[in-house]
Structure 1
Amino acid sequence: MEHNEAWSPTATVAKRVREARKRRGLTAEQVAERLAEQGIPWERSTVAKLENGNRQNLTLTEWLALSVVLNVAPVHLLLPIDADGDPYQVTPERTNEVEHTRGWIRGHWPLPGSNAIQYQGEMPEAEQGRIHLPPAKDRADRINGIESSIHQLTTALQHLQQEEGDDGEHREAPER
């Protein structure tokens, strides 16, 4: 799909809600009723306002409830599913390609220019160290991604080794 402007989060959710609702054969009234069952007191007109672009913001609770009601993973309401190379408005001042943003939201990799060690440090321990490579446009891009991942893992390993004493016992990292 050709899309010249950056996708905005609310406009994307609106488009994706409309698409999912229609695919499921639901009316705006039915979506509103199902949202009410989830504790979100929307009217049919609120669903219509969202879908028509007349509602500029959603709460996180509303977004998650829409995902439940429409049986769609939240990430697939938040991001377009057919626009991987397009820009996506992460913040009012920052855009990234849709596929990079999807990987960031899923916790696979930090946004370009971010501190990867810091990013991984906020992950659950069970997920740390998993390698997810960002999409590559060509062989050179794939090699750069692998080299970057190796560098990140080497740095993470060095940090872990610094936390251990000479006797191999674990010791807490110093406060920073």
Structure 2
Amino acid sequence: MRVYLPATFNSLTELNESGVIHARSGWAFAVTDALREFYTSGDEEELSDVAFDQAALASLRLLAVGDVEKFPHRRVVVSADVDDAHVTPVPDNGESVVRLEPAAVELDDVAAIHVDVPDAEEATAKAVTAIDAADLGDEDAELTVGDAQDNWLAFYDPSELPVLIELL
């Protein structure tokens, strides 16, 4: 099953150094039965986009808690293919939320790495400061977070990870 792990640049450094990335508290996002039921139309690719966007939003939340030394304004999502037996849907927390057990994903299972481009940093920085207010229903904050979410994340093949780390 394809899962989307919200991450930060620190997570990519860990993945590059150890060959393993850990899903924060075991949480990830995927196309689940609950997601399929919630969206009455849309193909698998569109549903994957929804799960991916939720992971990108969760990456924004990771940035907001300040667990970032380098690139505090770049969202990161790691797409990985894991055995279905290691994935448990947690629909009470959102239609696409899953728990990974074990929470560690090997580099060999990583399908792609996605990182905000430099032009998105300003919108992401604003969203980092607005995310808590957006959660409380502040409309201006929701728009600010939406602006960041509208930016595409650049795609990197897992084999490019060492070069990505070095270049950034």
TM range (shorter): under 0.3
Greater Rg, structure 1 or structure 2?
A: 1
**Which structure's relative contact order is higher, taking Cα pairs within 8 Å and 6+ residues apart?**
2
Q: Structure 1-normalised TM-score?
A: 0.22
Q: Structure 2-normalised TM-score?
A: 0.23
Greater percentage in strand: 2
